[in-house]
Amino acid sequence: MKVAIQGIKGSFHHIVAENYFSKDIDLTECMTFSEMPKLLQSEKVDALVMAIENSIAGSILPNYALIDKYHLEIIGEYHLSIHQNLMALKGQKIEDIKEVYSHPMAILQCADFFENYPHIKLIEDRDTAEVAKRIHDKQLNGVGAIASSLAAEIYDLEIIAAEIQTIKNNATRFFILDQKEENKNEEANKASIRFTTSHEVGSLAEVLADFGKYDVNLSKIQSMPVIDEPWRYAFFADLIFKDYKDYKASLKSLETKVTTLKILGEYTRSKR
């Protein structure tokens, strides 16, 4: 199984890939999300693991755009509790650390912790685990990373301070993605869709009210601009249902009330 992730070994994407599939996978490391869909198109990988939202920072809107643009299919989801740790070369104390590098999201999640250490400069970087690897490879003294405990283990770093995220109940939701095949999954209990409505007053409200008639729960809705139509918005929605037939009936009704409708994926709901 060839799986592409954003980041390198030791990243949170790496943890999700192994937890969702198995540790016996062939990992392809990507430093940006935008390069990942092309790996599927060229059949260099079998699946993608892509973060889509965080319980603190919210949705990652560019990733919704990638899923839509490249017609990717959501085949699963995974919720991962995020535990951020400050790490450095062994033998160092927090007083020795002058600079800490990490992904902007990780820095945001740990900002309160560093208010107590004004001597430390926080610097945004591409990936949590990549910083840990760099510290190890270049033997950088006085430099720390914010990353997972797995990154500390892989790159032989010492955790100076554990669980430094401000909100301890911090989680990220990941999508598992494949190439679009329009497969019917009657064992699914969750779906993600994209739709646009007319400009008529109450058109969106009519759509939202309709789901309740079919015992379908709208668990999330996210708006995004339609790039080639200024001031027009598409809506990405997550639907939770008990009966697959009820869900399909709700979509049939929805088709009469929207201008476009696209099923992004039908899958099994992840435990939070």
Cβ–Cβ under 8 Å, residues 38 and 230? no
Q: Rounded to an integer, what distance in angstroms lies between the CA atom of residue 266 and that of residue 245?
A: 13
Q: Same topology for domains 85-161 and 190-267, yes or no?
A: no
Give one DSSP letter per residue of 114-182, joined into a string. HTT-TTPEEEE-S-HHHHHHHHHHHT-TTEEEEE-HHHHHHTT-EEEES---SSSS-EEEEEEEEE---
Helices 244-255 and 203-213 pack at an angle, to 10 degrees, of 160
The residues, ordered by sequence, that sit 6+ positions from 140 with a Cβ below 8 Å of its Cβ are 89, 134
Provide the residue ranges of all domains of the chain, joining segments of one domain with +. Answer: 2-81+171-179, 85-161, 190-267
CATH superfamily of 85-161: Periplasmic binding protein-like II (3.40.190.10)
For the domain 190-267, what is the CATH code? 3.30.70.260
- Kindly tell me if the per-residue pLDDT of 181 is higher than 80: no
Backbone angles phi, psi at 30, to 5 degrees: -125, 135
The pLDDT-based confidence of 199 (bands split at 50, 70, 90) is: confident
Report pLDDT digits (tens) over 234-248.
999 999 999 999 999
How far, CA to CA in Å, does 55 sit from each of 16, 37, 152, 170, 272? 16, 25, 24, 6, 11
Taking residue 62's Cβ as centre, other Cβ atoms within 10 Å add up to 12
Among candidates 137, 151, 140, 106, which has minimal Cα distance to 8? 151
Q: Rounded to an integer, what distance in angstroms lies between the CA atom of residue 87 and that of residue 26?
A: 27
Cβ–Cβ under 8 Å, residues 176 and 20? yes
Residue 180: its pLDDT value, please?
Answer: 73
The CATH fold assigned to 2-81+171-179 is: D-Maltodextrin-Binding Protein; domain 2 (3.40.190)
User: With pLDDT > 70 as the criterion, what percentage of the chain qualifies?
Assistant: 99
Report pLDDT digits (tens) over 10-28.
999 999 999 999 999 999 9
Q: Rounded to an integer, what distance in angstroms lies between the CA atom of residue 272 and that of residue 267?
A: 15
The pLDDT-based confidence of 182 (bands split at 50, 70, 90) is: low
- Tokens for 168, please give them: 């301890």
- Kindly tell me if the per-residue pLDDT of 132 is higher than 70: yes
Q: Rounded to an integer, what distance in angstroms lies between the CA atom of residue 91 and that of residue 88?
A: 8
pTM: 0.92
Cβ–Cβ under 8 Å, residues 12 and 130? no
Q: Rounded to an integer, what distance in angstroms lies between the CA atom of residue 265 and that of residue 247?
A: 13
- Kindly tell me if the per-residue pLDDT of 183 is higher than 70: no
- The three-point CA angle 146-139-12 to 5° equals 30
Backbone angles phi, psi at 243, to 5 degrees: -115, 120
